Each structure stands twice: as structure tokens, then as C-alpha cells.
Structure 1
Amino acid sequence: MSAPSIKAVLGPTNTGKTHLAIERMCGHSSGAMGFPLRLLAREVYDRVVAIKGEKAVALITGEERIEPKDARYFLCTAEAMPHDGGGHAFVAIDEVQLAADRERGHVFTDRLLNARGREETMLLGSATAAPLIQSLIPHVELTERPRFSTLAHGGAKKLSRLPKRSAVVAFSSEQVYAIAEMLRRQRGGAAVVMGALSPETRNRQVELFQNGEVDYIVATDAIGMGLNLDVTHVAFASLAKFDGVKRRRLTPSEMAQIAGRAGRHHRDGSFGALVGMGGQDAEFTEEEIFAIEEHRFQPLTKLFWREAEPRFDTLNTLIADLSAKPDERELAPAPESIDLAVLRKLADQPFAQAIRGPANVRRFWEVCSLPDFRASGVDTHARFVTRLWQDLREGYIGADFVAARIAELDTVRGDIAVLQGRIAAIRSWAYICQRPDWVLARDEMAARARAVEARLSDALHMRLTERFVNRRTSVLMKHLGNDPSLLPISLEDDGTLLVEDQAIGKLEGFRFAIDPHAAAGDRKMLLSAGEKALPRILATQAEKLRESGLDGVALGDGRVMWGDQEIARLEHPVDPAEPRLKPARELDRLPEGARAAFIAGIEAKVKEWLAPLEPLRKLQLASKSEDATSWARALLLNLLDGHGIVTRERAGIENLPKEARPFLRKVGVVFGALDIFAPALLKPAPRLAMKQAGIDRRPIDEAMRSVIPATKPLPAGYRPAGEQLVRVDIAEKLFRQAHEARAKAKGAGEKRGRGAPFVLDTALAVSTGLTPDSIKRLLGAAGFRMVEGKPVPEGAFGPALPDRWRWLPQRSGSRSGARGSDGEHRRQGKPHHAKGASKPGGKGRGKPQGSGRADQGANGKPREPRPENAFAALKDMLS
């Protein structure tokens, strides 16, 4: 029977070594693989489960144990892996070059020398370990694998010039956080990976990068240990680190291990320095560049070793064995690690005198081997170990005590540093709960610890994401520069504009407003993204609005409004009934075709709104007609200027020839006693249309009632009547009735004169809602004066005398009388003294008052009234 084969598969990163080992293990009946990181062990565990099923695969680390009853394939961290391989058919050790690591090297050296498979053993790692492996294991079968892709030096770059899918490597948490913050501001954010993070948090951060939510990842050298990342470029913020003893420059092989994360499978990668960060040691030398690109490095000269199976007779014997020197020249004694440092420190304590016998010494050594997850140092960690030993001296730690300690850590409040501290503490308790002889109810307590670690890891991931990832900027950076039509922008019902699921602003009508909560540095980018997509979004918005019949669009004061936004304005350069539409600037962002169609829709709607202005349009056309005389044209222009109404005083009617009046009446002009007006324009629809179009900005009564209470300013279409206002066409009816009553009385043969009294039936005026005082004031404006009827004397019989009216219009050149308003009039019933008439105390004394009235001649006969406005109005009506 042939001896089991031992194969060393060596080479740089991205050579498929781990993939080959997985395939070989799955081809055997059982197997075990040891990894440098719990994260990497978990990744391979998931891959093997997909091949062999959950029941056949186990995951064993210091803090987690998934071990089905019938498990045949074990994925472990190097420390949790059995010394001899556990009797499996296949055994593999990954990253064997870590045998030269000061902190953990002795563990990998032991597995390299002692872990063997029954049928096959495979050692995976860098070619720098080849000479030592061949020397320590003479019958090893050595295979070197070439890298699938090339790795080239990309030169030094500033942070703002880093290509997408880049990893930035730093060697302190402060520098990692500073770079991540700068990437958040400039490029939308970065994932963060550090050794201090829990594996779960690292997984989530790596997933953030792998899923493309961010294009950058900032990490410590932990990134170089087998993490499979979709990285195209690795930028070194520094080329020096503190190795636990001193700050030193990385070796070319360490540089290559990290730089090798760039490029996966057959896709080439690049590496380089990050400049502008204040570092003085980030420049590669020519020799280092050549070594990394050609994968040529100095071979390892020593591997660290420590006795893997010391004697446990006494504490001194144990310390002596752990401090012993190896016999092989290829091996060097391991530097004192923290577990041995804690053992030495506690061995001098008084309580250590009671630790006797191999079982107690072994148990005490296992307690001292508790990893320092807190990275607190020897003294602090030794105090924690001392308390743990005191709890374990009596046997097991009670479940209640462990549950209480776990519960104390089960809170997600705090910042990144606080959460990191809690995760380190819970990892310690997770390790303690995994030990088979330390905790009662071990499985339950281990499950609780894992659950708390998961919650804390989720919270830490959220804190890191909140602090170092500006998802909105990241999304925009990913899409800006592409075809604007492909920008994944959507419009919510409330007007919010989204890029993927990130709000960049709000669309209010056709106006884009940037998110007010956006940082000042992001506003330019948000505006650029919004403007790229606005033509398409606005075109859709305009089309929907046009198809809805411009639902929600209104016209008011000459402005076309959609909600609170003006989308167009009416201009009246010549014809007020045919305004010109001036679109708002926001519509300029619409594509030309969509803009033209939308404006045409608005124009059609405006034409519909202004249809009631046809009478006004008729007046405008008449003013341009060849049939109109210059005097008629002047009156029409005055009428247009008054929006369909003009007082006689302002109309210039005294110069209008009679032959022009039929033409004006034909186009709808009415000559009233006090006003010239177009009755068709006194209806509610045209008055409202004029108000909407901004033609007449005076207040209006929307129903255009016949009589309304007096208000200031005077509404369009009304004239004052005391404490009431009456529509001008209704006022004209009342004036006509008064003149007809006067003419009727004259026709009855009564002696009539200029101021002869007559009886007026005010039923029509009262039916409109006018009060007696308003009737008196309204008719008074047209020259009518009321003479109150005298009451029946005491003791007399018969009806009382009715109120009578006199027509005493204003004389030509007189300043009193009708003014087209409810202005000053002569007091009712007071005689008027014409020029030359006798006055009390003057010439003609002794004559009764009232003699020499203005309506009588020298012989006392009635004088014919001179032509003036009110008399002319009567003639107009009767002609």
C-alpha cells in the first residue's frame, strides 16, 4: 500500500489553490481544511454545503461550532483544527506561509508538520515557503501554479482619481476612518474592513462592496488573507505597519499578498500608492514593483515553532516546554505570544500555588489560552483570565452567571468604538461557551452569545454604513456620465424624484427643487442628476397633464397656474381679447416636440376660458373697421379702455355725430343717461373672464347681482347709490323709467316745465333691492330731485299727497349736479339762484323766494332747457 501523498500547491494570489483543495476534498470520503480566518472558513463552509449538504459539513472555530452528528467534512480555523488532522482522508492547510508570522506562526508550523490526511495532504500558500517545506518534508510533491491574470503597477494616484472598484489599504483604524470619510464626501462612500471588526460585520461590509452599493473598500492588511473581492485596483495609503514590536516597512511578499486582491480569475488588476494623504512611506521602489509584478520574492528563512504537546506536570514544566527551542535549523522559537505572557504573569500569583496535577495545569493553560479579542494587552487580559479561572476552579460556570454577562452586552446603543468593544467582549464569551467543560447549558449559552454578536454586528454595520456611505452620492456617481435616458430616475406620486431608491429632490409642477437636507457638497451633483433626467420626466408630466384636459390648471390675474406654480402668463400687446401666451422658463426644459404640444394645449384651454369675451373682441374689431368714423373709433377705444363701460363725461360723446350711433348700437353699444356700456359684458362669464385674463383687475361680483352692498374699491360694472351699488344696466332702466314717467305726465296735458314735478312709481327700483335712500341718491346722480309729499293737515280728510320728482339737470358749465357718481348735489327742495336772480337782502327785495328760478323766463313762462348731458341722454333714448 502506497504512503499517503503530501502535496504543496504554491503560488501567488488568484491561482485557484483554494478552489483546487475544495475539489480534492469533496472527492474523498472525509476531509478537513484549516484557514487563517474565521471569515474564510465560513466562506468555504458555504461552498462545501452547497455540494455535500448541511448534514455532512461542519464549521468549527474558536467562537462558533456547527457540527452535525454525521458530519464528514470539517472547515476550521487553524487554531481549532486537530493537531494530527483528526484522522480524515483528506487534510489541507491554507496560507502555510503564515508559519513565519510572529503572533500565530507556531500554530501553522505545527499543522504543517503534523496534520496529515489518511490518503492525501495538501499545503497551500506562497512560493516563498517552498524551500523550507522541502527541507522539513523531503517527500513532499511540490507544485507551483501561475496567476490567472497579470498584476501591474498603476502608479501613484490621488483619492479623487481612484478608479471604481478600488481597495485602499491602511494600517491604523484612524487612517482607515479618515480615508473612508473622504471617500464618502467625494465618491459616495466606502465599505470598511478591519481585523477589529467581527466576522459578521466584515461579511456585511464586504457584501456592501460586492453588491456594487459602493465602489470602494478601505481595509487593513486583513484584506490580504483569502478574501475574494471584485477589486480591480489596490491603493496603499502606507507601506509601513506596526508588527507588535516596532514600525517597519512591509516586505515585498507582504505587499504582493495584499496587492494580489486586485484582479480576479482572468481579469487583470493593478496596484499603486495613494498620494496626498500626508504619508511619507507610500512610494514603491523599482525593486518592489519588479518583485510584485514578476512574483519573485526572497524565500522564507525561518518558521516559528513552539512545542505543540507540552508536559503538564507543573506550571514551571509547562512554561519550560513552551519556551523550549526547536532542534531543526529551519525553525526558530516563537516570540512570546499573549497566552504564554499571561501564563508567566499568573504563575507568580499566590493562587497559582494551588494549581497542581496534570489535569489542573492543563485546565489552567486552556484558560490562559483565551484569545485577547479586546486587544487590551497582557495586564488587562490577565485580570480577565484570573476572574475566569476563579469561576472555573469549582468546575463549571453557572448558566445564570453567563446569561447575565451576555445580557449586559446585549444593547446596540453607542457609536462605532463602543459597539466594537461590546463585540470583542461577546466574542470572548462566545469562545468560553464553546468549551465543552466550562459552562453549564453550553449549547444554549453559545446560541445566546452568537445571537448577541449577530445583533451587535448588524448595529455596527449600520453605524459604519451611516458614517461612511452616502448611498445617494454613491448611486449618482455610478450613473452620472451615462446616457441620460438610462438614468434610473422615477417620479413618486408626491413629486419626489428618486434615483434607484434615493431621493434627490422634489418636482413641484415643472420646477425641480434639490433635497433641502442634502449636504452643500452634494447639491451640484444632485442638480446635475436632476437636470439630466428632467427632460424625460417633464415630458411625461406634461403629456399626462395635457391628456387629463389640464386638470388642476387655472387662470387667474393673467397667470396660468398649476397648483402654486405659474406655467404661463398672458400678455395683451394689442387686442385684450386675443392675448399672447408667454410660457414660464421651467417649460424650456421640455423637449421641443413635447413643449410645442403642451403649449398648444394651454393655448386651446385659454381660448376656451376666454370664449365669453367675444363681445369685447367684437368691439375691438369694430374699432378697426373701415365703417367706423374717427369719432366712433375714439369712443370705442375709450370703451375698450374702460373694459366695456365708460361714463359719458369721459366718452367724448358731445363730439359724436348722430349718424355714427347706429353703427355703434349695431356692435352692442348702449348710450345711457350717465354711462356708455356694452350690456353683453355685464354678465358674470365675461366679467370673470376679464378678471382671470388680467384685463380688468378690479374686484367683481361673481354673480353680477343687480344690487350689492357698497364696497371699496368700486367693483367693475357698478355705480354707487348711497350705501348700495347698482349694476349700470339696471341703473339705466331706472333712469329710463324716470324719463318715461316725466314724459307721460307731460303728455297728459299737465303744465310742464323744466323742474315741473311728476309722480314716479318706484316699484321697479324697490324690486331690485334698492332702499329708498339709494333710489333717491341714484336718481339724484341723473338730475332727479325728490319733493316729499305734504302730510294731510290735522282735521282734513283724503289721501296724503304722493312724493313727487323734479328733473333739475346740471347746466352747461355748472360745477354742481350729476357727476356720474354719488357725489355732491344741491340740497333737496332748496331753490336754485341763477345769475342775476334776486337774493334775500339784495335788489328785488320783497319778492317771494323762488321768483326768478332758473327754469323761468323774464315773463314767468317756462324756459326751454339748454342741451346738456342728461337732456341729450333723453333724446338718445327717445330717438
Structure 2
Amino acid sequence: MTGRNAPAPGPSRATPSRRRGSIRAVLGPTNTGKTFLAVERMLGHASGMIGFPLRLLARENYDRIVDRAGRASVALITGEEKIIPPNPRFLVCTVEAMPMDRDVDFLAIDEIQLCADPERGHIFTDRLLHARGRHETMFLGSDSMTEMIRLLVPDAEIEGRERLSTLSWAGEKKLSRLKRRSAVVAFSVDQVYELAEALRQTRGGTAVVLGALSPRTRNAQVEMYQAGEVDYLVATDAIGMGLNMDVDHVAFAQLRKFDGARRRMLTAPEIGQIAGRAGRHMNDGTFGVTNNTKPPDPEVLRRVEEHDYPPVKQIYWRNRALDFASPKRLYASLNEYSGRDELVRARDADDQLVLAALMREAAVEQRTGSRDRVQLLWDVCQVPDFRKTMPEHHATLVASLFTHLVDRDGRLPTDWVAGHIERLDRTDGDIDTLTARLAHIRTWTYITHRADWLDGAADWQMRTRQIEDSLSDALHQRLTDRFVDRRAAVIGRSRGAEGAEMLSAVNAKGQVIVEGHVVGHMEGLRFLPHEAADRREAKALMAAAHRALTSDAPRRVQAVEQSEDQAFGMTPEGRITWQGREIARVERGDSLLSPRCVLLSHSLSESVLAERVRLRAQSFLDGYLRRRLPALYTPAVSAADLDSPARGLLFQLREGLGAMARREARDNLKAMGDDARAALTKAGLRLGRDWIYLSGILDVKAVRARAILWAAASGRPVPEIPNTTAPSLPADRVPEQVWPLLGYAPLGPIALRLDRWEQLAAHLRNRKKGARFEPDAEFCARLGLAADDPALPGVLRALGFKQEATGDSPNAAFVPVSRNRGAKRKGHKKQQSAKPSPARPNPDSPFAVLQDLVVGKKSAQSR
């Protein structure tokens, strides 16, 4: 229905206000200095007021005007924030929050082309028709509004402005190929986050600007971009309204948006408004598409480049002469038509939709019996829903506000307000959670600025501001943590500079620094890079780090060479460390006692440097073995003091790493002279009944050193050795023939230390033959086992005992196993002695195991 067919309202409803002073319309594309001109004009008057489309822009320009005129002279008035000194000369506002009853010399409205916006257009149209300054009025916006202003405000002087820089089409580019200082535009939160994540992976990160963010969060994100911490910005069309940023290129990842009613293609003016953010002052800008978005039609591109937009033919209007006789009459007055074709009735705004929902509530209807109550109902309906929920959902809060205000003489209950506000004072949660809390607290910030509704309104305003600030800071941090890798951003920027070589170094902590960012660290002699954002970054990172490592290598090698042995160490696995980091391993050398040191993976590019480190590690290894095994490397007896059999015995001991079965040394022992025997005994030789070994080799440090020697010679892992000298160890840790090399002998499920073996053998020799045997605490302690250790029965079986089953206690005692396993034959005496004999071993005794070891070792020697 057109205005001509609608009922004719009173002429004042759509008729411009009577002229007061000059009216000037400054129209043109973005980046023409319109806002700067308006601020300068306002400061030239005794008083003034300027309305901006966004709270963010209002705050930005408030700060600039304060710097010029002083804080006491400037007020900031938005729905959520009011800073009003006692007698301000200038008022900086959002368009919706402008106090229209305030009389000022100068008045300006920015982005007047928003009269054609389906959602907010009626507010801007109302200001176009009725907002005037005493001496001067100025409308700023697109030149597409030229004809409409001439029609509705015929006495306005139209002034065109040329863009200070050119804006040109740059075509389609992949997201990963966008140049620095680019803004990527999308129209859904999900896609904004998706694009931001892609830029983090490929370019190190991006700032994010959404309409749902609080001004403080948006400012922080924009400042991060402006400061050069990131080179990219992903945003919705929120950047199109006057945000002043150093953007060189705007890339559209979408050209369709949901306008509140349907999804549609962007118009040429809308593309131009957003793309116009590219290029500031005298710097030219470009725009294009990305993310596989189809380019606009050539005609649209031409219009954007030439700023040639079709004139606005219709703008949105809503009746301002409202009827508060009843909710129904109020609603009807909102739906009246202007009576003019160019003024189209605005579609139902959020406040009108909430009013419609409340009119269906009986509790609300019962409380609207007067014009004042209806006026109050309309006031609460205009509480904004920053959460952007369904009107019916927001109506629940609005209904509570209205009923409380009516039932409590126009005041909200303090505890009810506190309950809603305080539960929002939490900064935990993800991005979506914090965004939702911010939307809630912004609604309550608006409510607290209604001083006529609250007791202690100033305190509540301060409280909601504190919560909003803390939530904004937390959200900014979450966005930064998720979408910014500062190190990758710096590396990518340096990589992008043609011919640039990134500054790199290795600091005293072993951190590798590239362009001021830690990109990896040294583990001993090896460089461990931190995770790179992509392959290209990894390549650049490694190249820069390589230069630092090459430069630092001689100093690091010198530090290794000059380190005392205390700086080195040996791990239980046989790895040599330097300053706590593994640098080398022990491998087979020329002989069992001469292992070789081999460097682990390292970042020393020159083989000469690597060999110098290896030689220092070899020196440590040699000293380590000599300190722990002095009896093998530096015997306390001179070969000149020994006869030939004694020297042969000493050679055998060195080959066995300090221990051998006595049976293997029978010939040398028989031929050895008394003087030589005494010399060896004085030097630490222990001649047991079954084993010969050197003193000191049973110490835990010596056992570990011998384990490393065996592992290096055999190519096997170093067996696990406990921190204390253990009487016994589990027998399955190494092959049984290896245990004597470590100073132990296998005994069933355990390996018994050689000195304990000799003590045990003596104990068994001294017991009565054939007697029942009950293992006591002393016996178990000699084995290094507890009385209830599950290995104990296996040890006793290896010693030639079996459990004796009795009626009283089947596990109480053990008896020797008969050597004669066949039937008892006439003329043969029953053997009952449990005495072991290595020369003629009982097959059920531990010395049979020793015999097998000796035979196996001799066979190996013969091979």
C-alpha cells in the first residue's frame, strides 16, 4: 500500500520541522573528510551535538573532541554509556540516543544514507526531518541521498565531496595470497571464525570485528591490527560504518547477506560502503573477492569504482506522534502511514514486536490503565536486546521490568537487579559463552542508565561497566589466543619483505629467537623447532634458525670442550648428557673395556665441530669408567709383581669384567705362587669356593658401569639396575650367561650377587645333611627377599629343595631332593646331602646352573 492510499495522518508527522539556521548536506563516498569537517564546524560554535550510527564511532570521536575541547566541555550519550559533565557545550551521541529536546547551535547527523536501512532507517529519517541546530545543521553521507534531501529538505545546501584516494577492483585472490593490510568480509559469525582460523594457519593470525562484540573488544581487536601485531582483519559489514583503519585491500568472502527478512545480494552502495574502508587519506585502496566467491557484475564494479550509485528513491519512516491512550492505540499509531510515497512505513522494529508480544500478556494488560502506564510500557519496550533473541524471548525480560516498575512505584527491586547482574560477572568459558554474557550485560547497562528506574543508578552503572570491561577483555584475549599466532605473523611479515633476512640468534637459555620471537630451543646440541603454522613458515623458520645455529655453533662447541666433568652425566640407558641434555650414546669399541662414544642427532653443520664435541664426550666416558671400575682399568698390583699364572688370571678377570667361575681358573690357581696369590689378594681379589671376583665391582655404580659396557658390546639395551646395591635381581632382565659379567649368578627366578652366593653356599655346607629346612628371616635377608616373596619357592627348588607337604602346615618346610631319581637299587646308599658341589654338581642344585654357564662360556671361547 502506498502513502496515497493510506489514511492521512496529521501533517506534522511527516513534514520537516521549520528551518532554524542554515542546513547543509555534505555528501560523497567514503574517505572524503566529511566527519572531520563536521567536528571542526561544531567546535566553532558555542554548543553542538553530533549523532553517529555506532556507539564505537561515538566513543572514538568523543575522545578526539575531548582532546580538543577538554573533558568538562564534552558529553557522551549512548544507550549504554553516559558521560555528562555539569554543563557540557558539546554532545557526542548515537543517533538513537540524541536528546531531541536539547537546543544547540550546531547539529550534525552522520551516515544519513541509513535512512534507507530497513531496520534503523526510521530513526535516521526522523532526524532528517526534525533534528535542527539553532544556527547550523549538517547531514553527512552518501551522495545517493542527494535527490531525497532536496525533496524532503528543499532549503538544504548540497555540497559534494570527492574521495581523497581512488578505489579500484583487484579481482579474485586466494585467501592465502591476500596481501598484507587486508580486511576480509563475511556476513555470518561462523564464517568469520572459519576465515580467521584459516588466516591464522597460513598468515599467523588476524583481528576479528563483529557487530556482536562490545565496543571495548572491537577497539582492542582494531588496535591490535592498527599496531601491526597482525596484518589481517576478518569482519562483518560492521567495518563499513566509519571505522578508520589502515586497510589497503578489502576482500569479500561473501556477497550475500541476511537483512532480517531474506538472504539477498549486496547492492552496489553497500559494496562501496564496505570496500571504501580500503585506502585512507591519500592512499589508494583496492577491493576484490576471495574464498571462491563469484565476482559482482561488471556494472556493479563500475558503480563502486566510480562511486556512481543510483539515487535513493524511498526511505523508511515511522510515526513519531504516538497515541498513548491504550496499548492497542499505541500499536495502531505506530502502524500509520506517512502520506508520502517516498516515506515508506518501516517494518516492525524490535520495540514494536516486543510491544505486540506484551499486548497478549494478561499481567501486562491489567497494568496499562492510564496514559502514563502506556508511556512506561513503550519505554521498557525500547530496552535493546543485544542478545538478538526472538522478540517473544526478550519480551519476558521486558514484561518483568514493566510489572516491577508498576507494582513498586516506578522502581526496580534492588535484589532482583543484583541477581541478574552479578551472575554475569564471570570470565570463564569460550568465545560464544563470553559473547552471550556480554550481550546480557550490555542490556543491563542500558537499563541502569534509566536513573528514574533504579535506586543508586550511578553505582549500578559503574558495576555493569566493570563487568562489561572484564568480559570484553576476556573475550579479546580468547579471540587473540584462538586466531593469532604472533610468532608466525612476524615470520610471515619478514618473509614477505623481498630480500629481507630475518634477525635470529640463540640466547643464553638455549632459545632460538627469530625477529624477537622464540621459534625453538636447543636440546643439548640439537635444535627443536616449535610447531610452525604451515610449511612455508617452517621453511623460513628453519632457514633463519640455521643462520643463528651456524653462528652460535663455535661458541657452543667451545663451551662443551671447556666444561668440567661435572657438567656431563650418564643416564641409566647409557646416554651421555651435557648440562642435563643427551648428546651422545655408548657403542661397541675396539674391545669390551674400550667402548666408543657416538654423537646423537645434532645441529652442528661442520664435521670438525662435531668431532671436537665427540672427543670431549669420549674423554668424559673414559673417565667415568675408570672412576667406577678402577680395579679393571688401574689394578692395584703391578704386573711385575705377578708370575705368569697370576697375570693370566688377571687377564681372565678383565675379560669377564671382574668376575669368573673358579672352575675356569683351576689351572692358573694351581700354578700360581704364594707371593703372587698374596699380591692379588692384597689388590682386592676375592677367591670364593665357586666364584672369583675383584672387590668393588659389586657396588651399584660399578654394576651400572659394567651393564653399560655389556650393552655397548652386545648392541642390547642397558638392563635396569636399581639405585641401591641389591642382593638379588630378577633373573629375566638379561640372558643368564650375562649375569656373571654384572657380578651376579642366576639362581632360579633371581640372580644372586656373588658375595651373597658364597655366603649361601657356606650356610648350606654347614647344615645337617638331609635335614628338613625352614627358611628363616636371616636366610631370606641373605637372598634379598621377603618371607612371602613369590620367588622364594623357585629359589629353593633351584637350590635342590622341594616343599614337604604335612598335615599341619603344607608350606612350612622344605626337604632335599634325592639325587637318585630312579628306583632304589640294591647295594646303593640313598643320597641325602643337600651340599652343592660345583665339580660334580647335583642336577637340582644352583651349581648345575653354574656348570651350564661355564660350559656355555667355554664353548663360546672355542668358537
Please give the TM-score of this superposition, normalised by the length of structure 1. 0.66
Q: Structure 2 residue aligned with 1:52, among 60, 69, 90?
A: 69
Structure 1 residue identity aligned to 2:253: A
Q: Deviations over 1:138-162 (max 9, x none)?
A: 2222211111111110101222222
**1:225 corresponds to 2:241:** yes
Q: Given residue 98 of structure 2, which amino acid in structure 1 is its aligned partner?
A: M
**1:376 equivalent in structure 2:** 389
Q: Which residue of 2 aligns with 1:397?
A: 412
Question: 2:506, 2:552 within 8 Å by CA — same for their partners in 1?
Answer: no
Instruction: Give the superposed CA RMSD.
Output: 4.4
Structure 1: tracts of 5 or more residues without a match: 611-684, 724-730, 739-758, 778-879
TM alignment of 1:396-795, pairs within 5 A: 396-482=411-497, 486-499=501-514, 502-515=517-530, 518=531, 522=534, 525-526=537-538, 528-543=540-555, 545-546=557-558, 550-551=562-563, 562=578, 564=581, 566=583, 586=602, 589=605, 701=632, 704-706=635-637, 714-715=653-654
User: Pairwise mapping of residues 15-26 of structure 1 onto structure 2 (< 5 A)?
Assistant: 15-26=32-43
Partner of 2:193: 177
Q: Which moved more, 1:243-252 or 1:348-357?
A: 348-357
User: In 2, are the aligned partners of 1:698 and 1:715 still within 8 Å (CA)?
Assistant: no
Letter in 2 for 1:228: N
The alpha-carbon deviation at position 712 of structure 1 amounts to 9.0
Counterparts of 1:27 and 1:7, CA distance in 2: 15
2:259 alignment counterpart: 243
Q: Deviations over 1:266-310 (max 9, x none)?
A: 11111112243xx5xx42111011000000000111121222342
| SS of equivalent residue, structure 1 residue 409 | coil
Q: Measure how far apart 1:251 and its partner are.
A: 1.1
**How much does 1:474 deviate?**
2.5
1:323 alignment partner in structure 2: 335
How far apart are residue 500 of structure 1 and its match?
5.3
Question: Is 1:153 aligned to 2:162, yes or no?
Answer: no
DSSP 3-state at the match of 1:59? strand
Render the CA deviation track for 1:95-117: whole Å, top value 9, x for unaligned.
00001111111111111222222
Q: Distance in 1 between matches of 2:687 and 2:586?
A: 46
Change in CA separation of 1:495 and 1:332 when aligned onto 2, cut-off 3 Å? same
**CA positional deviation for 1:524:** 6.4
What is the deviation of 1:455? 1.8
Aligned residue number for residue 666 of structure 1: none
Give the conservation status (yes or no) of the 8 Å contact 1:6–1:139.
Answer: yes
Q: One-letter code of the match for 2:563?
A: D
Give, in whole Å, the separation in 1 of the partners of 2:613 and 2:676: 52
The residue type equivalent to 1:247 in the other structure is R
Which residue, 34, 38, 47 being the options, matches 2:51?
A: 34
Find the aligned partners of 2:223 and 2:420 in 1 and give their Cα distance: 31
Correspondent of 2:98 among 81, 85, 88: 81
| 1:14-52 deviation per Cα after TM superposition (whole angstroms, max 9, x unaligned) | 111112222222232222111111111111111112222
Residue deviations 1:417-466 (CA, integer Å, cap 9, x gap): 22222221111111111112111111111111111122222222233223
**1:297 counterpart = 2:309:** yes
Deviations 1:191-217 (A, max 9, x none): 222212222222222223222222222
1:267 aligns with 2:283: yes
Matches within 5 A, 1:303-314: 303-314=315-326
- Contact kept, 8 Å, 2:376 with 2:402, in 1: the verdict is no
Deviation of 1:505 (Å): 2.3
CA-to-aligned-CA distance 1:208-252 (integer Å, 9 cap, x gap): 322222222221111111111221111112212121222221110
Structure 1 420/714 Cα, relative in aligned 2: closer, same or farther at 3 Å? same
Q: 2:126 is matched with which residue: 110, 115, 130?
A: 110
Give how far 1:61 is off: 0.8
d(CA) in 1 for partners of 2:277, 2:652: 81
**AA aligned opposite 1:307:** N
Match of 1:619 in 2: none
Structure number with the bigger relative contact order (C-alpha 8 A, sep ≥ 6) is: 2
1:70–1:188 CA distance, 2 compared to 1 (3 A): same
Residues 397, 567 of structure 1: alpha-carbon distance in 2 compared, 3 angstrom cutoff: same
Counterpart residue number, 1:789: none
**Deviation, structure 1 residue 582:** 11
- 1 CA distance for matches of 2:405 and 2:467? 23
* Structure 2 residue 101 is the aligned partner of structure 1 residue 101: no
| Change over 3 Å in CA distance of 1:689–1:23 after alignment to 2 | same
Once the two structures are superposed, residues 762-817 of structure 1 have per-residue CA deviations (whole angstroms, 9 ceiling, x without a partner) of: 9988876779999xx9xxxxxxxxxxxxxxxxxxxxxxxxxxxxxxxxxxxxxxxx
1:288-347 Cα deviation digits (max 9, x unpaired): 110000000001111212223424333344333322222444322222212122223323
CA distance in 2, matches of 1:12, 1:339: 32
Q: Which residue of 2 aligns with 1:799?
A: none
Secondary structure of the residue aligned to 1:152 is strand
> Is residue 14–residue 147 contact of structure 1 (8 Å, CA) maintained in 2?
yes
Give the 3-state SS of the residue equivalent to 1:121 in structure 2: strand
Query: Percent of aligned pairs with the same residue?
Result: 43
Residue 362 (1) aligns with residue 387 (2): no
Cα gap change, 1:706 to 1:379, in 2 (>3 Å): same
Most deviating of 466-475 and 224-233? 466-475
When residues 391 and 524 of structure 1 are mapped into structure 2, their CA distance, relative to the original with a 3 A threshold, is same
The residue type paired with residue 705 of structure 1 is A
User: Judging changes above 3 Å, is the alpha-carbon distance between structure 1 residues 542 and 64 closer, same or farther for their aligned structure 2 residues?
Assistant: same
Residue 344 of structure 2 aligns to a residue whose secondary structure is strand
Distance of aligned partners of 1:699 and 1:55 in 2 relative to their CA distance in 1, 3 Å threshold: same
Instruction: Report if the CA contact (8 A) 2:76-2:84 is conserved.
Output: yes
Please give the alpha-carbon distance, in whole angstroms, between the structure 2 residues aligned to 1:465 and 1:541. 36
| Counterpart contact for 1:512–1:530, Cα < 8 Å | no
Pair 1:340–1:714, CA change in 2 (3 A): same
TM-score for both structures, normalised by structure 2: 0.67
8 Å CA contact 2:557, 2:613 repeated in 1? no
Change beyond 3 A, Cα 1:452–1:769: closer
1:722, 1:773 within 8 Å by CA — same for their partners in 2? no
- The letter of the residue matching 1:171 is F
Q: Which residue of 2 aligns with 1:141?
A: 157
Closer, same or farther: CA 762–125 of 1 in aligned 2, 3 Å: closer
Which residue of structure 1 aligns with residue 143 of structure 2? 127
Q: Is 1:64 matched up with 2:69? A: no
* Structure 2 residue matching 1:181: 3-state secondary structure: helix
- Structure 2 residues without counterparts, runs of 5 or longer: 1-18, 640-645, 663-667, 693-863
Aligned letter for 2:107? V
Is residue 216 of structure 2 the alignment partner of residue 216 of structure 1? no
Tell me what 2:25 maps to.
8
Instruction: Name the count of aligned residue pairs.
Output: 650
Tell me, in whole angstroms, the C-alpha distance in 1 between the residues paired with 2:445 and 2:205. Answer: 32
Q: 1:116 to 1:548 in 2, by over 3 A?
A: same
- Matched letter for residue 355 of structure 1: T
Say if 1:429 and 1:148 are closer, same or farther in 2 by CA, change over 3 A. Answer: same
Superimposed CA distance per residue, residues 440-499 of structure 1 (whole angstroms, 9 cap, x where no aligned partner):
111111111111122222222233223333334333322235589842445454423344
| Contact 2:217/2:476 (<8 A) preserved | yes
**Aligned-pair distance for 1:384?**
2.1
CA distance in 2, matches of 1:88, 1:702: 102
Per-residue Cα deviation, 1:601-645 (whole angstroms, up to 9, x for no partner): 779x87x999xxxxxxxxxxxxxxxxxxxxxxxxxxxxxxxxxxx
CA contact (8 A) 1:399 1:441 kept: no
Offset from partner CA, 1:320-376 (integer Å, 9 cap, x none): 332222244432222221212222332344332541333222111111111122211
Q: Aligned to 1:6, what secondary structure does the other structure show?
A: strand
